[in-house]
Amino acid sequence: MRYDFDKVYDRKAYLASKWCVEQVFGREGVLPLWVADMDFRVAEPILTVLRERLEHPIFGYTMVSEGFYDSVIRRLESKYGWKVEKEWMVITPGVMPAVNAAVCAFTEPGDRVVLQSPVYPPFWSAISDNKRELAVNPLKLADNRFELDLDDFKNRFERDGAKAFILCNPHNPGGRVWTKEELTAMGETVIGAGGVVISDEIHCELILKGHSHVPFASISEESAMNSITCFSPSKTFNIPGFHTAVAIIPNEALRQKFNETRGRLMGAPSILALIAAEAAFRHGDEWLEQVLAYIESNIDYAVGYFNKNIPEVIPMRPEATYLIWLDCRNLGMEHDELRSFFLDDARVGLNDGAAFGPEGKGFMRLNAACPRVILEEALVRIEKAVKVLRKR
Ligand SMILES: Cc1ncc(COP(=O)(O)O)c(C=O)c1O
């Protein structure tokens, strides 16, 4: 079927976090292009299985079906040639719960854990809230693209003795799809130092043209045996409100440690989430193909618009995700001023770049997964505000 991603839904009436701007930003009239969910309806096969399930009026605790495991196994093999076994999988109520549990299970309080700044804000708290030490490997900005600083990365492990690395593969907020060479270099460093890679691959199916995702664990037997991969249908199929992910841990000893922590902290899987996820994995590709084409055209539109009409703001073209990292440093503002400029002058709700780490100061993140009219309106608002600024 043909999906209409131009359709605007009233999400606020259903308390979508993204649209409850008064609570989030403390202001009315702000157009929201922030948190990573899409303003698009989900794939029809997801709705069909949910409707069918709702016909049965009892929603008790659930077992995980063979069909669910099988759908994940088939998907990872067909997309990436990665052969995963059922026993390696642990269902968690989301990727961040899995990342937090992995930090607790594979490191000790006081251990150093590496992240690559700027990065998804909850990575920072997954380290510091669990009383581990932050070991930061800043990404390098080269030609408006993030690159790995391998020498610095090696120092974090070989010199500073870090014990684990939270990898964002693909990268949020920069949309980098890490290459096999980059992943191999990072893996050799971490594993050579006796550490574990916690690979968050939540955005791995939102890959844009010309790029391909490599699961970290698929690189070699060593990378598989020294890592946990967090995989989820939530970003790909726009069902993050279902809070479900799969932690894939080929190493039995690591899996046992993970399960001890998981069992203490997390409950059983959500019945509707598993059903929705399986339908998405098995029958969601027609929708996914169309949504990726729509996202890609929105990104082209936004990047072109900034370049032509708002050259003070430099968009980073993502290789994956629907997120655009905006370099706003040429607006010449202190970061607090910048945040207020977007909220109060432009009246658009973006993600604050500084929340992704000190390297994010002077940057904002825009979510382009919305109907084109919303994106157009946001860009016009930003342009108008910049025009006023130019006259000052
Ligand atoms: C890189 C990354 N990891 C994890 C999450 C959140 O995952 P979950 O809601 O499954 O905890 C997000 C959401 O934006 C994300 O961008």
Give residue 237's Cα distance to chain centre.
13
pLDDT tens digits for range 252-262: 999 999 999 99
Q: Is the CB of 232 under 6 A from ligand 1?
A: yes
Q: How many domains would you assign to the chain?
A: 2
How far away, in angstroms, is 392 Cα from ligand 1 center?
Answer: 40
Q: Report if residue 51 sits inside a domain.
A: no
SS (H, E, C) 211-261: CCCCCHHHCCHHHHHCEEEEECCCCCCCCHHHCCEEEECCCHHHHHHHHHH
Residues 179 and 39 in one domain: no
Tokens of 211: 């790029």
Q: Report if residue 319 sits inside a domain.
A: yes
Q: Is the CB of 36 under 6 A from ligand 1?
A: yes
Residue whose tokens read 């080929």: 250
pLDDT tens digits for range 280-333: 999 999 999 999 999 999 999 999 999 999 999 999 999 999 999 999 999 999
- What pLDDT is recorded for position 209? 96
How far away, in angstroms, is 95 Cα from ligand 1 center?
Answer: 6
Q: Is the CB of 316 under 6 A from ligand 1?
A: no
Q: How far apart are CA 95 and CA 201, in angstroms?
A: 9
Instruction: Please spell the DSSP secondary structure of 134-155, one letter per residue.
Output: EEE-PPEEETTEEE--HHHHHI
pLDDT tens digits for range 100-145: 999 999 999 999 999 999 999 999 999 999 999 999 999 999 999 9
Q: Report if residue 1 sits inside a domain.
A: no
Residues 311 and 245 in one domain: no
8 secondary structure, DSSP code: P
Q: Which residues of 130-161 are buried (b: 16+ CB within 10 A; e: fewer)?
A: eebbebbbbbebeeeebebeeebbbebbeeee
Q: Which residue's CA is minimally distant from atom 9 of ligand 1?
A: 94
How far away, in angstroms, is 37 Cα from ligand 1 center?
Answer: 10
Q: Report if residue 3 sits inside a domain.
A: no
Band of pLDDT at residue 392, cut at 50, 70 and 90: confident
Q: How far apart are CA 33 and CA 351, in angstroms?
A: 8
Residues 264 and 291 in one domain: no
- What pLDDT is recorded for position 267? 84
Q: Is the CB of 359 under 6 A from ligand 1?
A: no
- CA-nearest of 91, 57, 122 to 277 is 91
pTM of the model: 0.97
Residues 221 and 266 in one domain: yes
End residue of a domain, out of 248, 283, 318: 283
Give residue 151's Cα distance to chain centre.
26
Q: How far apart are CA 158 and CA 105, in angstroms?
A: 22
End residue of a domain, out of 283, 312, 335: 283
Instruction: Using the Cα atoms of residue 384, residue 389, residue 391 and residue 392 in order, give the sign of their dihedral.
Output: positive
Residues 202 and 308 in one domain: no
Q: Which residue's CA is minimally distant from atom 14 of ligand 1?
A: 36
Residues 290 and 276 in one domain: no
CB 312 within 8 A of CB 330: yes
Band of pLDDT at residue 353, cut at 50, 70 and 90: very high
Does pLDDT of 355 surpass 90?
A: yes
Q: Which residue's CA is minimally distant from atom 7 of ligand 1?
A: 95
Q: Is the CB of 172 under 6 A from ligand 1?
A: yes
Residues 29 and 67 in one domain: no
- Residue 295, domain CATH: 3.90.1150.10
Q: Is the CB of 234 under 6 A from ligand 1?
A: yes
Element (H, E) at 16: none
Residues 341 and 384 in one domain: yes
Residues 272 and 256 in one domain: yes
Q: Is the CB of 120 under 6 A from ligand 1?
A: yes
Residues 351 and 299 in one domain: yes
Q: How far apart are CA 351 and CA 366, in angstroms?
A: 7
pLDDT tens digits for range 3-27: 999 999 999 999 999 999 999 999 9
Out of 84-98, 241-255, 264-278, 358-372, least confident range: 264-278
Q: Report if residue 49 sits inside a domain.
A: no
Q: Is the CB of 170 under 6 A from ligand 1?
A: no
Does pLDDT of 367 surpass 90?
A: yes
Task: Indicate the average pLDDT of the chain.
Answer: 97
Q: How far apart are CA 318 and CA 305, in angstroms?
A: 15
Q: Report if residue 50 sits inside a domain.
A: no
pLDDT tens digits for range 144-188: 999 999 999 999 999 999 999 999 999 999 999 999 999 999 999
Q: Report if residue 7 sits inside a domain.
A: no
Task: Write out the residue range of the structural domain in which residue 173 sits.
Answer: 58-283
How far away, in angstroms, is 245 Cα from ligand 1 center?
Answer: 10
Q: Is the CB of 84 under 6 A from ligand 1?
A: no
Q: Report if residue 36 sits inside a domain.
A: yes
Residues 101 and 26 in one domain: no
Q: Is the CB of 118 under 6 A from ligand 1?
A: no
As beta bridge partners, residue 246 has 91, 231
End residue of a domain, out of 223, 256, 283: 283
- Residue 238, domain CATH: 3.40.640.10
Angle between helices 252-265 and 95-106 (to 10 degrees): 120
Angle between helices 372-391 and 285-309 (to 10 degrees): 20
Residues 374 and 311 in one domain: yes
